[in-house]
Amino acid sequence: MALPGTLPQPLHRGRVFRYESFATDAERGLLTCHYSLDGRHFTERIKLEPGPRWPTEAAQAAARLVFLLAGVSYYKTAAPGVIDLGPSALTDAELAFLREFYLQGLGEFAYRNHLDLTPLRIEARRAQAAPGQKEPTAQGQGRALVPFGGGIDSIVVTERVRQRAEAALFVVSRPADRFDAIEAPAAVTGLPVVRAEREIDPQLLRSAEFGFLNGHVPVTGILSAIAVLAAVLNNNDAVVMSNEWSASIPTLEDHGRPVNHQFSKSETFEAAFRGVLAQAGPGMPDYFSWLRDRTELWVGQQFAALPQYHGSFRSCNKAFYADRARRYDRWCGQCDKCCFIDLILAPFLPLEALRRIFAPSAEPLEDPSLAAKFRALLGAGAKPFECVGEVSECRAAVLLAAPREDRAGTRLLQGLALEVARWPDAPSEAEAHAMLRPVGQNFIPAGYR
C-alpha cells in the first residue's frame, strides 16, 4: 500500500536504461540510434537526404541531440530509476535540460501510470561547454525550415515566414507512410518540402505483448531535434516552430507538480533547447517559435483570412491514427480537437463556412451531445490531454462567437455563452479582445518579426 501523500507504483519497473551509441551514414542519409533497457535492445532509424554535410561537426552535433531526445520513447517502456548515458558526455546545461525533458516531458505519462519519476538519476560523464558560444541569431531573408503539421498554427506561421525568408516545409513521417491531413495543405503552400522518415523500433508496436508501460512522450521535442539536423544538412539558418502561448499552461497539477501535455511546445522547453543549441558549436540554426507570444484566438483570426486552406486542412485526431485502416479521410466532428478547432474559429468564420469545413460530419457546435466536451474546454470539467488552447481563450471564443447574427440559432453555443457570462472569472469584452494582441515574450530574431 502506498504511503499517504505518495503515488502508487506499478508492479514492474526496469532497473537501468542505457544510451549505447549512434552512427551516421552519409551515403544513405541515415542516423541510427541504439539503446538498451535491462538487456533488451532498441534501435531507431531516421532517414534524411544523403549529402556532403553529414560528416560535418555541426551535423554530428545535431545527430547527437536527436540521439539524446529520441531515447525517451524507449525509456518509457519500463521507466527505470536510472539512466546511464554510457560513452556520451554531457555538459551541465545538457544534463539539466535532459533531466527536465524526461521529468516534465513524461509528466502526463507518469500521471496516467501512477509513477513518481522525480527520484530519477541520470549518470553521465561531464563535458566542458565550448567557450565563447552564443545563441544563434537568424536575421531573416535567409533560409527558414518550418516544421509543418497541417494545422492552423503551422499554416499561419508558414504564410508569415515566407514573406520574410526563403521558406521550406519540414515533414516527418513513418517509412512509406504520409498523412493526407498534412500533404493536402502542404500542397496548397506551393513550397518545397524537406522530409525525414522516422522508424521506431518495432518492439514499441508490440507494447501489450511485451508488457511495456505506455503513454504520451514529448514528441515535439524529438521532432525539433530532427528538424535541427535537417536544417544543418540543408543549410537553413532557422527552424521556425508554431507553438503558441497557451502551450506553456499546464494541463493540470498533480501533487503540486505541473503536468503539461504540451511541455515540449512550451516556452520552458524552447528556452532550454535554445541554450543547448548555443553550446553545440558553430553551424547550428536558430530555433524559435513564431507564435510564442500569440494566443490560439489570434491564430484562429489569422487563419480565417486564409480561405485557400479552408478546404484542405484537417486538425482531427482521427486523421492521424498510425493504423491506416482506422485513419479518417474527413473530420470526425466528435473528438476534443474537432471541438476546439470549431470553437476557436467560430468568432471569425461564418456558420456556413464551418459547416462546409466539417462536412459530411455535423459542425461540433451544432451537436448538443458534445456539450460536456465543450464545457471541459471552458474549464467546467477536466481539461483534455490534447493540444488545445487555454481555458480563458476558449471562454473568450464563446463570448465573441455567440453575438454573431448567423449564430443566433446555435443553441449549444448560446447556452455555453450564457453559462460563461455568469462566471465571476469570465473575460470581459476588453479582455477577450486583448487576447488578439501579443501576450508575454518571444525569441523571434529581428529579421523574422
Least confidently predicted of 59-73, 121-135, 364-378: 121-135
State the residue for C-alpha cell 498523412.
179
Domain boundary among 289, 313, 329: 289
Q: What is the pLDDT of residues 356-409, one digit of tens each?
A: 999 999 999 999 999 999 999 999 999 999 999 999 999 999 999 999 999 999
Position 160, amino acid: R
Considering the domain architecture, whether residues 264 and 368 belong to the same structural domain is answered as: no
Query: What is the domain range of residue 251?
Result: 16-127+195-289
Question: How many CA atoms lie within 13 Å of 335's alpha carbon, on the beta-carbon side?
Answer: 20
CA distance 214 to 207: 7
pLDDT at 370: 98
CA distance 364 to 358: 8
Task: Kindly state the cell numbers that stand for 114.
Answer: 501512477
The verdict on residue 447 lying in a domain is no
Considering the domain architecture, whether residues 325 and 237 belong to the same structural domain is answered as: no
Confidence of residue 8 (pLDDT cuts 50, 70, 90): very low
Domain boundary among 254, 289, 324: 289
Considering the domain architecture, whether residues 113 and 224 belong to the same structural domain is answered as: yes
The verdict on residue 375 lying in a domain is yes
Cα 449 to Cα 161, 270, 444: the distances in Å are 9, 17, 6
Cα 211 to Cα 1, 12, 40, 91, 199: the distances in Å are 22, 9, 13, 34, 21
pLDDT at 322: 87
Q: What is the pLDDT of residues 82-95, one digit of tens each?
A: 999 999 999 999 99
Task: Kindly state the cell numbers that stand for 253.
Answer: 497539477
In this model, does residue 1 exceed pLDDT 80?
no
Q: What is the pLDDT of residues 138-184, one digit of tens each?
A: 555 589 999 999 999 999 999 999 999 999 999 999 999 999 999 99
* Count of other CB atoms within 10 angstroms of residue 423: 12
Considering the domain architecture, whether residues 302 and 390 belong to the same structural domain is answered as: yes
3-state SS class at 48? coil
Q: Containing H/E element for 114? A: none
Flag whether the pTM goes above 0.75.
yes
Q: Specify the number of domains making up the chain.
A: 2
Task: Kindly state the cell numbers that stand for 319.
Answer: 486523421
Domain boundary among 272, 289, 306: 289
CA distance 252 to 257: 9
**Taking the alpha carbons of 35, 37, 40, 42 in that order, is the dihedral positive or negative?**
negative
Question: Among candidates 282, 242, 271, which has minimal Cα distance to 448?
Answer: 242
